[in-house]
Structure 1
């Protein structure tokens, strides 16, 4: 072997963060060490792996090719730990769960403590953000998505369908004109997503509302939209499992307008059988099944 295998850790960190300083922080070392390791790897391979600019480090074609190999090595290393390590060790370490803000904060966060108690050596990292998580880049070990992936080495299973309805605060409804038909919504302030920041088409709810809407308050965050509705700002499309936590919210035209979406549990094919990931995925599935009525009430 003409190069030091340990250099690949540094290469992977820079490839994923795009900056030497960020990679150094991730690896608990300094900028100079990362730079030296990358230079040594490039010299050993006789190839330039990154194009450097003030904006950061971008992979060259040779770097892209190497990244694919290194990610495969990373997956093999994870499988080795799962296959060879004892059962106690296999259920230790970190598992990172990426989920949309609503599911992560309102459903999973209040229940995740049971997973921690069940496996005391497991470090659970819950990322509840409105975004798509890249499992190949290790942004998460498990992702909760709104669509079933069709590309990459990913496996997915359906968790549940869930309903969304229009909601407004009881105070808002009492202070404004009645909403008896979809056409009445034209007289009310609507709350929704910022169109160009919708990270997946499944969140583009408002075109499914058959009315001339005045969307005057927008946010990239569903929790922010919901809090605005609770405060009496206007009418908002909210998942039923979130609205159920706020007694101040009342459904609007629930018998006329229902939107249905699906949550998928997604894992990388090479890591789905790793004990810590399998344990967390099983737990999430159990919790959803146990609370299915929250997602599909009535």
Structure 2
């Protein structure tokens, strides 16, 4: 690569695997990005991407270059961080990858509060119905619902959270698990459950899933219309039509973990943001779960 701008363009396309998705990150239009990538490949005398209608997939050389370029980007960020000197204010851009439940119901409040205290900090939330790939530098840190199996990562537990069955206040009562057989069950699309900790419905004995989505936000909207499903307690304050049911029979506990690439250990800025995000999510889960307890009785 001739300059850092080439690296920035290459990394944006490598991470998004799409010219259109990389365009807003680079503030360039897709056609310009395509020409920049083609010029870079000509200068190297080798292909970095396999182009197809589905997008831009990295070649073996492209994967090696992505890893090297990402490491160089990290070192540059650390150097810039040191050049600013020590300051209490957080600055720069931070991208957090998270499942859509966290991204919709917890991170907006946490990130807004953190940014309010640090006006020069730019917070980005990457909401994905899959595990975020930190090795590919898709994000600076990620929230997961299970411990990573492998990788050169820094992992810290954030907090436990609760899930229960929920349905509309005005629906016919469900008094036993057997009653669920006559109700439409809302849940994940079975072959799109990306983490074993999200496979909630196996022990309910309710049969199949009649209303399904890979998004917990869509599932919540389905339950607001009709049916019964597992809902995060912290999401219930956002759906006042719903109440928890069978809480003495079905009560699930899961955990959130904050995961960073090992190189983040060198950055005081990322460490401080990680601690702030962890503390914020812990407090927000506790606050919203207290509110959720109020939904158990029908509205009057």
**Could you say which TM-score interval applies, normalised by the shorter chain?**
0.7 to 0.9
| TM-score for the superposition, normalised by structure 1 | 0.84
Greater Rg, structure 1 or structure 2?
A: 1
| TM-score for the superposition, normalised by structure 2 | 0.83
Number of residue pairs the alignment of both structures matches: 290
Q: Between 199-208 and 128-137, report the one with greater CA deviation.
A: 128-137
> Quick one: which of 196, 213, 228 aligns to 2:222?
228
Secondary structure in 2 matching 1:229 = helix
1:134 counterpart = 2:133: yes
Quote how far apart the aligned CAs of 1:287 are: 2.1
1:260 counterpart = 2:253: yes
Partner of 1:86: 85
- On the 8 A contact 1:161/1:295 being kept in 2, the answer is no
Residue segments in structure 2 that go unaligned for 5+ positions in a row? 294-300
Task: Label 1:208 to 1:244 Cα distance change in 2 as closer, same or farther (>3 A).
Answer: farther
Q: Between 60-69 and 47-56, report the one with greater CA deviation.
A: 47-56
1:283 counterpart = 2:286: no
Give the Cα–Cα distance (whole angstroms) in 2 for the partners of residues 189 and 24 of structure 1.
42
- On the 8 A contact 2:185/2:206 being kept in 1, the answer is no
Task: Label 1:65 to 1:213 Cα distance change in 2 as closer, same or farther (>3 A).
Answer: same
Secondary structure in 2 matching 1:215 = coil
- On the 8 A contact 1:94/1:122 being kept in 2, the answer is yes
- On the 8 A contact 2:144/2:256 being kept in 1, the answer is yes
Residue segments in structure 1 that go unaligned for 5+ positions in a row? none
> Quick one: which of 191, 198, 220 aligns to 1:203?
198
Give the Cα–Cα distance (whole angstroms) in 2 for the partners of residues 148 and 202 of structure 1.
10
Quote how far apart the aligned CAs of 1:256 are: 1.1
- On the 8 A contact 2:107/2:281 being kept in 1, the answer is no
Q: How does 1:1-12 map to 2 (within 5 A)?
A: 4-6=2-4, 7-12=6-11
Give the Cα–Cα distance (whole angstroms) in 1 for the partners of residues 45 and 202 of structure 2.
54
Quote how far apart the aligned CAs of 1:179 are: 2.6
Q: How does 1:155-194 map to 2 (within 5 A)?
A: 155-172=154-171, 176=172, 178-194=173-189
